[in-house]
A = this chain, B = another copy of it.
Amino acid sequence: MKIGELAKLTGVSVRSIRYYESQGLISPIRQANGYREYSPLAVETVETIKLYLNLGLSTEQIAGFLHCVLKNKEAFCAEVMPLYRSKLEDIERQLVELNQIKRNLEERMASILQEQNESSLEACTLENLE
């Protein structure tokens, strides 16, 4: 099949499929006219790439084990587990950082609201005294 059809079948843009090729993730043969020709298996390949990209892995990381996981179960690809571990550590670091920022934001918001309340209380008191 041609690249446009592969794009439709997978929901991935033509641009992205060509990019995956430039990163060594997929290698279509070329027809006499220069068009890329994909086997039906390419659909699974692209779906697999999508899956790993959605897990936050980079194309470079995916390139390291894609061949293996297309032929075997993940459990038999030794490269996968260490990547998952380090990705998980990344994510946990990001979660810590985001939660820290979140707490800081919430504290600042709370203190703004408190100051505003105090101001309106003052105002009310003044009004009451008048």
Q: Is the interface of A mostly helix, strand, loop or mixed?
A: helix
Is A70's CB within 8 Å of the partner chain B?
no
How many copies the complex holds: the figure is 2
Partner of A112, one of B81, B95, B99: B81
**A7 CB, nearest partner CB in chain B, Å:** 25
Query: Number of A residues whose C-beta is below 8 Å from B?
Result: 30
1/0 per residue, CB under 8 A from B, across A102-122: the answer is 101110110110011001000
**A56 CB, nearest partner CB in chain B, Å:** 5
Partner of A116, one of B75, B98, B111: B75
Partner of A56, one of B54, B88, B101: B101
A75 touches B106 (CB 8 A): no
Q: CA separation between A75 and B92, bound complex, in Å?
A: 33
